Amino acid sequence: MRLLSAMKRLARAMVLPVLFLSVTGYFVWHARHGERGTLAHERRLEQIRHARADLAAAEAERDALERRVAGLRGDRLDRDQLDERARSLLNLVAPNEIVVPYGPERRLY
């Protein structure tokens, strides 16, 4: 009987610490692995880095295209660029020119 009452006292004494540790463990796990935890935060930062790299590449491509278009505007026409573009679209060359073919992966535009 004495052993049973000692076990009951021990069980009552352990209820609150076990409950507290369980709740604390629950919140710690979700702080690390949850939807807004530290791992999710690191994934979002990685996605932001990739998006910024994609944005920089797109802006560089846009700037290159704007420079090419600016050379073809009527108020300040770049005759060399116009000639190059027309020959490329029409697939024409002069008899005294040398043609250097490029592969499809190295297209100029």
**What are the pLDDT digits (tens) for 16-71?**
999 999 999 999 998 899 888 899 999 999 999 999 999 999 999 999 888 878 77
pLDDT of 101 strictly over 90: no
pTM: 0.54
pLDDT at 107: 65
> With the CA atoms of 80, 85, 91 and 93 taken in that order, what torsion angle do they form, in degrees rounded to the nearest 10?
0
pLDDT at 104: 72
> Are the CB atoms for 78 and 72 separated by under 8 Å?
yes
Of 80 and 29, the structure prediction assigns the larger pLDDT to 29
Task: Tell me the three state secondary structure of residue 32.
Answer: helix
Q: How confident is the model at residue 98 (pLDDT cuts 50, 70, 90)?
A: confident
